[in-house]
A = this chain, B = another copy of it.
Amino acid sequence: MKIDVDTLLAWGAAYKKVAAGEVIFHEGAESSFYYQLVSGKVRWVNINDEGKEFIQTIIEPDECFGEFPLFDDGPFAASAIADEDSVIIRLHKATFHQLLKENPELHFEFSRLLTQRLRFKFLILKELANHNPENSISTLLGYFKQTQKNICTKCNRLKLTRQQIADMTGLRVETVIRTMKSMQSKGTLQIVKGKVYC
């Protein structure tokens, strides 16, 4: 999902620079903006009592994030934190609604986005509930491969650390490392110098 930046600007959207590590919005807070990433990288995470992160999604340029409150008026379901120095563009909620009203096609695209996100949640949830690290990891990698997210298109190398994979599957780094090694020895996964290729 991506709204043309010129369109956004024409409707009064504003750019905002965020430094790596900066929190863009907090889980539980009220919202009044549509957010879209222009450049950089953002992770959409829940942080538990012990400080452990669960990464719901990694946002790449031209993707929107933090969209739930726009429709159900609830708070943010997770925090958005910049992984790298990033530029975001945001549009006021009321304006966003007007924009959708005047562009039904855009609204349909948005429904497609929500659907795709739900689809991914269904998929990953079903795997996590299964308590099979290998399946969880391959489902996750399969998704990233399919959507071309966090993959170096030039060399086909996955740009995810074991820690990130762990934080998206509810596993520990060590478990992810051990499981992936075992997958490599089975031939299920191609790892060169610790990096995953697909």
Q: Most chain-B CB neighbours within 10 Å: which of A104, A124, A125?
A: A125
Q: Most chain-B CB neighbours within 10 Å: which of A52, A123, A126?
A: A126
B-binding segment of A68-76, A87-95, A188-196: A68-76
C-alpha gap A132/B122 in the complex (Å): 20
Partner of A71, one of B46, B48, B70, B108: B108
Determine whether the beta carbon of B112 is less than 8 Å from that of A111. no
Q: Tell me which residues from 55 to 91 in chain A have a Cβ below 8 Å from any Cβ of chain B.
A: 56, 67-68, 70-72, 74, 77-78
The interface residues of chain B lying within 8 Å CB-to-CB of A16 are none
A122-B169 contact, Cβ under 8 Å, with A71-B108, A116-B72, A130-B48: no
Question: What's the number of copies of this chain in the assembled complex?
Answer: 2
Q: Tell me which residues from 99 to 132 in chain A have a Cβ below 8 Å from any Cβ of chain B.
A: 100-101, 104, 107-108, 110-112, 114-119, 121-126, 128-131
Whose C-beta in chain B lies nearest to the C-beta of A56? B122
Instruction: Return 19 A-B CB contacts under 8 Å, by A number.
Output: A48-B130, A54-B130, A68-B118, A70-B115, A71-B111, A71-B112, A71-B114, A72-B115, A72-B116, A72-B119, A74-B119, A78-B126, A104-B104, A107-B107, A111-B111, A114-B115, A118-B118, A129-B169, A131-B170
